[in-house]
């Protein structure tokens, strides 16, 4: 996606945007008119005209006072409502672009925290109409209208106001850009270094104490903090520059109006009330214009969010991601039939991740028959997860991959995934009840079906102790341990009744002491009464031999560069995902 596509999605259509912007403009104009009318009222009153003469001004002052607050309230409601409605379209728009690419075609979103950043970025984009476009439109219009009004009263003062406003725009923008730019460039690395050290300290506190390295680490943290704080305090000089400049220019505008207005008053070109208006209007206008630097600051954030969203969603589908071919296979209502004993065949299959220079999986061949229990083993980096993703068509492959004798390229990926299921290494649980986490696998299942499947995966007692099917699993399964998450995921896959089920490292996030019993339970349950189901277990830890009918060992590949594996060290970053007790 291009950045401007993202921004276009984020900006509400004119019909939705206009009411809020117009109400905001009305409120800002009321603010200026309030001060102008009040100044006119007082100076005119000093001439002691009949009171009726000032009736309009008195009504106007009160009306503008009410209008300023009332319009503002209506503006905020209208523009927030518009922003939320646009957020809905934006979220759907981005999501629909994510669907064909997910999960492996999304650049840099394989780690959970990056994915949540993407979502945060999408939501940040609702600030585009609220904090960027609307304030800019409003302050621009107020500035122009005020300049026109003052020019009508005293052309020279109008020109002076226009010039000071332009200077305020230019200087404010320049200062804001410079300060923010310097902060981003200079502070980000220091802040990153500091945060890394904090993570180190917290994740390894026991090790640091046991190794007597705590003092040294705390000293290092102090040093990183000192450097960061020194940089921040150096830059804090620039923080107030924009508002100081705006204030200064507002004052200059009033002084200029006086210098130009007083001679005009003497020559009779101007009367007293008009002078008061010309001198005081700048004060109110600059207050409105003070929104501009803030809007520009918000623009920088919105733009970088839009850029990140755009770069996370590639323009074109990478060659490594299978094309979604809707239509293919729809003439076969029940999907592929699986004739004969060999239901899944791989011949010389290789695959690589998008943007990778080398294959992560090379020349793998094997055949799976109904009822097989196949163990795929091999050291880390040998392509085990890559193989799992090839099997469910998340990744494109070279070589031959046939299901029931049919080349998978002639099937829609969705159709392949109706036959081959996958339990991921870290199963994703939705922030919902146990029931909802199971139902989406087969939405016709009754509570009795669900209880039966929970019994099979060994979670019946656990579910009861949690209060039944309506018990929540927590955000990202936070209320569920790694082993329970694996069992729930298995229950889900059993409900979906895949003829071939791939289990990717079922014990990776499970306490070592539970691993053996878990893998035994899982393989028993996966087989269950349906001996025809084939199960492929991927594991780098040993699996008891009696559970396995065939072993396939993947060879270690050339080590990928650090950080490229996408699979962080087992303990990294104190994740709150399932499996951390």
Show contacts with another protein in window 478-497 (CB under 8 A). Answer: 492, 496
Residue nearer to another protein on the CB measure, 174 or 514: 514
Contact between 452 and another protein per CB under 8 A: no
Contact 102, 313 (CB under 8 A): no
Site residues (CB under 8 A) for another protein, limited to 231-260: 232-233, 236-237, 239-241, 243-245, 247-248, 251-252, 254-255, 258-259
To the nearest 10 degrees (0 to 180), the angle between helices 241-266 and 272-289 is 170
Contact between 19 and another protein per CB under 8 A: no
Phi, psi of 474 (to 5 degrees): 85, 165
Applying CB under 8 A, the span of 7-15, 99-107, 338-346, 352-360 interacting with another protein comes to 99-107
Applying CB under 8 A, the span of 151-159, 271-279, 398-406, 444-452 interacting with another protein comes to 271-279
The DSSP letter of residue 571 is T
Sheet containing strand 420-423, edge to edge, reads 420-423, 500-504, 534-538, 373-377, 550-553
Sheet containing strand 361-369, edge to edge, reads 361-369, 342-351, 398-403, 406-407
Applying CB under 8 A, the span of 295-303, 350-358, 398-406, 510-518 interacting with another protein comes to 510-518
Position among 516, 520, 527, 550 found at the interface with another protein (CB under 8 A): 516
Contact between 1 and another protein per CB under 8 A: no
- Structure-token match 């009410």, residue found: 66
Contact 579, 482 (CB under 8 A): yes
Residue nearer to another protein on the CB measure, 143 or 375: 375
Residue nearer to another protein on the CB measure, 300 or 540: 540
Residue nearer to another protein on the CB measure, 145 or 247: 247
The Cα–Cα gap between 135 and 298 comes to 11
Position among 4, 62, 332, 464 found at the interface with another protein (CB under 8 A): 62
Residue nearer to another protein on the CB measure, 531 or 561: 561
The Cα–Cα gap between 286 and 249 comes to 8
The Cα–Cα gap between 327 and 391 comes to 21
The DSSP letter of residue 505 is -
Contact between 46 and another protein per CB under 8 A: yes
Angle at 506 between CA 504 and CA 511, to 5 degrees: 145
Position among 11, 76, 356, 370 found at the interface with another protein (CB under 8 A): 76
State how far the alpha carbon of 524 is from the alpha carbons of 441, 456, 517, 546, in Å.
20, 9, 11, 11
Residue nearer to another protein on the CB measure, 541 or 549: 541
- State the minimum distance, in angstroms, from the CB of residue 43 to another protein: 7
- State the minimum distance, in angstroms, from the CB of residue 364 to another protein: 18
Q: Sort strands 550-553 and 373-377 into parallel, antiparallel or unpaired.
A: parallel
Length of the chain, please? 581
What residues contact 142, with CB distance under 8 A and at least 6 apart?
25, 28, 29, 32, 285, 288, 289
Contact between 208 and another protein per CB under 8 A: yes
Contact between 552 and another protein per CB under 8 A: no
Applying CB under 8 A, the span of 26-34, 336-344, 453-461, 522-530 interacting with another protein comes to 26-34
Site residues (CB under 8 A) for another protein, limited to 309-368: none
The Cα–Cα gap between 363 and 285 comes to 72
Query: Per-residue x/- mask for another protein, residues 407 to 446, rule CB under 8 A?
Result: -------x--xx--xx-x--xx-xxx-------xx-----
Phi, psi of 401 (to 5 degrees): -135, 110
- State the minimum distance, in angstroms, from the CB of residue 89 to another protein: 9
The Cα–Cα gap between 441 and 234 comes to 56
Position among 29, 34, 309, 349 found at the interface with another protein (CB under 8 A): 34
Applying CB under 8 A, the span of 18-26, 62-70, 341-349, 524-532 interacting with another protein comes to 62-70
Contact between 58 and another protein per CB under 8 A: yes
Site residues (CB under 8 A) for another protein, limited to 520-549: 540-542
- Structure-token match 């699993």, residue found: 473
Applying CB under 8 A, the span of 6-14, 161-169, 209-217, 523-531 interacting with another protein comes to 209-217
Position among 170, 178, 181, 216 found at the interface with another protein (CB under 8 A): 216
- State the minimum distance, in angstroms, from the CB of residue 8 to another protein: 18
Position among 171, 182, 217, 399 found at the interface with another protein (CB under 8 A): 217
Residue nearer to another protein on the CB measure, 14 or 237: 237
Could you write out the DSSP letters of every residue in 210-261?
HTT-HHHHHHHHHHHHHHHHHHHHHHGGGTTHHHHHHHHHHHHHHHHHHHHH
User: Which two tokens mark 426?
Assistant: 């870290």
- State the minimum distance, in angstroms, from the CB of residue 400 to another protein: 23
Site residues (CB under 8 A) for another protein, limited to 106-125: 112, 115-116, 118-119, 122-123
Query: Per-residue x/- mask for another protein, residues 365 to 384, rule CB under 8 A?
Result: ------------xxxxx---
- State the minimum distance, in angstroms, from the CB of residue 507 to another protein: 9
Position among 18, 22, 221, 445 found at the interface with another protein (CB under 8 A): 221
Phi, psi of 175 (to 5 degrees): -65, -45
CB-count exposure of residue 462 (10 Å: 0-12, 13-18, 19+): middle
User: Which two tokens mark 89?
Assistant: 């379209």
- State the minimum distance, in angstroms, from the CB of residue 511 to another protein: 7
Contact between 92 and another protein per CB under 8 A: yes
Contact 86, 12 (CB under 8 A): yes
Query: What's the gap between Cα 494 and its chain centre?
Result: 32
- State the minimum distance, in angstroms, from the CB of residue 569 to another protein: 4
- State the minimum distance, in angstroms, from the CB of residue 200 to another protein: 4
Three-state SS for 516? Answer: helix
């Amino acid at each position: 996606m291009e950045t401007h596509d993202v921004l276009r999605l984020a900006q509400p259509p004119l019909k939705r945007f206009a009411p809020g912007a117009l109400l905001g403009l009305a409120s800002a104009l009321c603010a200026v008119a309030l001060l102008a009318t009040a100044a006119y009222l007082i100076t005119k009153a000093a001439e002691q005209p009949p009171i009726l003469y000032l009736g309009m001004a008195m009504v106007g002052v009160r009306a503008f006072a009410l209008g300023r607050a009332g319009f503002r309230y209506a503006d905020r409601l209208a523009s927030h409502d518009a922003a939320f409605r646009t957020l809905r379209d934006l979220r759907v728009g981005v999501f629909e672009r994510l669907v064909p690419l997910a999960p492996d075609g999304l650049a840099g979103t394989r780690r959970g925290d990056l994915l949540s950043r993407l979502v945060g970025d999408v939501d940040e984009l609702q600030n585009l109409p609220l904090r960027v476009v609307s304030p800019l439109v409003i302050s621009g219009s107020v500035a122009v209208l005020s300049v026109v009004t003052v020019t009508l009263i005293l052309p020279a003062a109008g020109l002076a106001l226009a010039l000071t406003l332009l200077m305020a725009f230019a200087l404010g923008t320049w200062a804001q850009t410079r300060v923010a730019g310097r902060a981003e460039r200079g502070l980000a690395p220091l802040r990153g270094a500091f945060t890394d050290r904090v993570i180190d300290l917290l994740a390894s506190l026991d090790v640091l104490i046991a190794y007597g390295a705590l003092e040294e680490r705390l000293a290092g943290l102090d040093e990183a903090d000192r450097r960061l704080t020194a940089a921040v305090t150096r830059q804090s000089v620039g923080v107030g520059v924009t508002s100081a400049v705006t204030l200064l220019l507002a004052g200059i505008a009033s002084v200029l109006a006086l210098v130009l207005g007083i001679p005009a008053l003497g020559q009779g070109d101007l009367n007293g009330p008009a002078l008061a208006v010309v001198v005081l209007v700048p004060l109110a206008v600059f207050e409105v214009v003070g929104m501009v630097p803030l809007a520009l600051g918000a623009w920088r954030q919105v733009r970088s969010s839009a850029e990140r969203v755009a770069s996370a969603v590639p323009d074109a589908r990478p060659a490594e991601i299978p094309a979604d071919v809707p239509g293919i296979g729809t003439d076969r209502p029940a999907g592929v039939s699986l004739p004969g004993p060999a239901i899944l065949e791989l011949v010389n299959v290789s695959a690589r991740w998008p943007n990778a220079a080398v294959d992560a999986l090379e020349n793998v061949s094997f055949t799976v028959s109904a009822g097989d229990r196949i163990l795929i083993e091999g050291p880390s980096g040998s392509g085990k997860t890559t193989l799992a993703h090839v099997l469910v068509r998340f990744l494109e492959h070279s070589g031959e991959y046939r299901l029931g004798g049919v080349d998978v390229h002639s099937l829609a990926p969705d159709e392949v995934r109706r036959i081959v299921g996958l339990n991921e290494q870290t199963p994703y649980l939705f922030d919902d009840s146990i029931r909802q986490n199971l139902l989406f696998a087969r939405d016709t299942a009754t509570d009795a079906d669900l209880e039966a499947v929970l019994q099979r995966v060994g979670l019946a007692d656990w579910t009861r102790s949690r209060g039944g099917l309506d018990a929540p699993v927590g955000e990202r399964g936070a209320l569920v341990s790694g082993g329970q998450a694996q069992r729930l995921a298995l229950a889900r896959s059993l409900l979906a009744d895949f003829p071939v089920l791939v289990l990717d490292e079922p014990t990776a996030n499970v306490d070592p002491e539970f691993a053996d019993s878990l893998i035994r339970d899982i393989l028993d349950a996966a087989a269950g009464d349906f001996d025809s189901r084939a199960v492929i277990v991927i594991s780098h830890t040993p699996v008891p031999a009696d559970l396995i009918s065939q072993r396939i060992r993947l060879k270690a590949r050339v080590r990928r560069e650090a950080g490229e594996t996408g699979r962080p060290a087992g303990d990294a970053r104190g994740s709150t995902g399932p499996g951390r007790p």
